Structure 1
Amino acid sequence: MAFCEPAAVVRTTRLTPSAIRVRLRAVGDWRWHTDGGGDERIDLAFPRPGEQDADVAFFNDREYGHTPTDDEPPWRHYTVRAVHEDGQELDIDFVVHEGGVASGWAENAEAGDIVGVFHGGPSRSYYAPPADSQWQLLVADATGLPGLARIVEELPAGARARAIVEVPGEQDRQEIPTRGNVEWTWIIGSGGRTSALPATVAESDVPDGPGYAWIACEAAAARRVRSHVRTAWGLGRDRHRAVGYWTAGASGHVEQDRD
């Protein structure tokens, strides 16, 4: 099996003014994982500027962990929103923003366009609540919303959670079906250095009993929320996970900050 596999666009769907869902279908015999869940990570290679299909062969001709070169095609971290047909198809939700390589690709993608899917190793997810968790705090901005939405959809019946989500506009709220008992707080804001997520979490009461916090947003905001749930809420390392999905002021590929 190749390290980078081709996948073709099936269709695109505009979910909200700032979110586009792209359905991908595996080209060839490879399949995506069916045992993943939560904020399952996926790395995607995109076409170079002016090209229609990703140069999948570029990555397969190099060793894993190779030093990037000037001619390397663009690639980014994303979250698998859903898996279909035993791994043959999968959904990826993209946040629309000016100047983004992946965002611009998603806005213009057409059926049949090819991206590369890095497919080495097992399914990877940061979300891992302890079995005895009686409640969950789920915090995300627009970039973390696809992972949060999948987590909420896959909650067991009656599971108690509070979801705090920051999105650019009122129309960017999404209806997420769930079997859980979820309390939603939607914040309208631009995120980044001015994110209201840390202050909103700081104003929240700590639920009774053992719990778990999952945070996915801009890196500095994620660290501030992480610090609060550690110190004020007393959550140990096994009871929270904070992931910086992007860094304000930085562009291009940024390695996700996590703890």
Structure 2
Amino acid sequence: MTTAVAAPFRFFALQVVTTRRLGPSLVRVTFAGPELRDFRSDGRDQSLSLFLPHPGQDEPVVPLELGEDWWRGWRELPDDVRAVMRSYTLRDLREDAEGHTREVDVDFVLHGIGPDTSLRAGPASRWAARASAGDRVLLLGPAVADNRAIRFRPPEDTDLVLLWADETALPATAAVLGSLPAGTRARVWLEVPHAGDVQDLVTEADAEITWFVRERSGGNAAGDGPLALDAVRADRLPSAGRPYAWIAGESGCVKRLRRVFAGEHGIDRRRVTFAGYWRHGMTEEQLRAEG
């Protein structure tokens, strides 16, 4: 059975291979499946959509038989039947000897996982916390390596890369850093809930990475504003440079930092890429309904 929908994006039927806890707030899930041989991506901040089953379902319910009209059919399904859809970024992929993708990694943030998990955590966090080998999902991803769901695109004349991200954009940031060639100058500000979420990031770039941990800052919530705000404001950027900024995470924090980079530091707005991955106090369903 084929799960293709339309190029350059299509559905891939996948199964969990392994899971690995990366820290208190993050778990890495590795997926595989024969259809992945047609998956193509240049990486960086590649965006994906995952469709997850509800508890008690063997696989996610998406009406693929409707072809390109699957979205309408999916929206019309009952809430407790329709597959849970969440947006993620590709953390990594591995290819076989012939250059075909054989595995992909996706890092999940475990929002609200703890003693009161059933009250606070969303369906994707609950699924990821309990995922095990053989669990089935659908991935809507690219069949063309250079596609519009990759947003990190610094101009060729960039001489300094500036990155800010919270935990939801940490996988994308790690992938971006891994893609930067040797000699690239980069300044990176990363915010995570717990000290155990700090990671060793591999990059050949000349990167200055600063971590901000919320539990060390009076328990600030992710929606209270970026902890890195003062540090970003105080950073002295080269007056004659050609920087490129990429900002991703909670939408309110992203907006504030965009104003700092473009307004206070004077970076051309066309050289600032920003993405609100989530909004404090709202579910993805609410954001989708808002448009």
Whole-Å separation in 1 of the counterparts to 2:88 and 2:65: 20
Pick the aligned partner of 1:156 from 177, 181, 187. 181
2:54 counterpart residue number: 48
Q: In the TM superposition, what is the alpha-carbon distance from 1:69 to its structure 2 partner?
A: 2.6
Residue matched to 2:228: 197
Aligned match of 1:119: 141
Question: Counterparts in 2 of 1:1-259, with a 5 A limit?
Answer: 2-3=4-5, 4-28=11-35, 30-34=37-41, 36-56=42-62, 58-61=63-66, 63-66=69-72, 68-71=75-78, 72-85=82-95, 86-98=100-112, 99-119=121-141, 122=144, 123=147, 124-189=149-214, 190-208=221-239, 209-253=241-285, 254-255=287-288
Where structure 2 has 5 or more consecutive residues not aligned to the other structure, the ranges are 6-10, 113-120, 215-220
Amino acid at match of 1:55: V
Q: Could you list the per-position Cα deviations for residues 31-84 of structure 1 after superposition, in whole angstroms to 9, with x for gaps in the alignment?
A: 3214x221100101000233242224x244360542723522110110000111
1:7 maps to amino acid: L
Q: Please report how far the alpha carbon of residue 30 of structure 1 lies from its aligned counterpart in structure 2 after TM superposition.
A: 4.9
Q: Secondary structure at the match of 2:187?
A: strand
Q: How many residues align?
A: 254
Contact 1:141-1:217 within 8 A present in 2 as well:
yes
Across the aligned residues of Structure 1 and Structure 2, the Cα RMSD in angstroms comes to 2.0
Distance in 2 separating the partners of 1:207 and 1:105: 45
Which sections of structure 1, spanning at least 5 residues, go unmatched? none
The more displaced of 120-129 and 11-20 is: 120-129
Q: Check whether the contact 1:74–1:101 (CA below 8 A) recurs between aligned residues.
A: yes
Alpha-carbon distance in structure 2 between the residues aligned to 1:108 and 1:172: 19
SS in 2 for 1:116: strand
How far apart are the structure 2 equivalents of 1:195 and 1:247? Answer: 13
Kept in 1: contact 2:45–2:176 (CA 8 A): yes
TM-score scaled to structure 1, two decimals? 0.91
Q: Which has the larger share of helix?
A: 2
CA distance in 2: counterparts of 1:214 and 1:170, whole angstroms: 24
Is the CA contact 1:10–1:23 (under 8 Å) kept in the aligned structure 2?
Answer: yes
Letter in 2 for 1:216: A
Asked whether the 8 Å contact 1:197–1:221 carries over to 2, the reply is no
TM-score (norm: length of structure 2): 0.81
Amino acid at match of 2:283: S
Letter paired with 1:6: A
Offset, 1:202:
1.8
Query: Is the contact made by 2:36 and 2:103 (CA closer than 8 Å) also made in structure 1?
Result: no
Give the SS at the match of 1:157: coil
Secondary structure of 1:119's match?
A: strand
The question of whether the paired residues in 2 share the 8 Å contact of 1:80 and 1:91 is answered with yes
Stretches (4+) displaced over 6 A? none
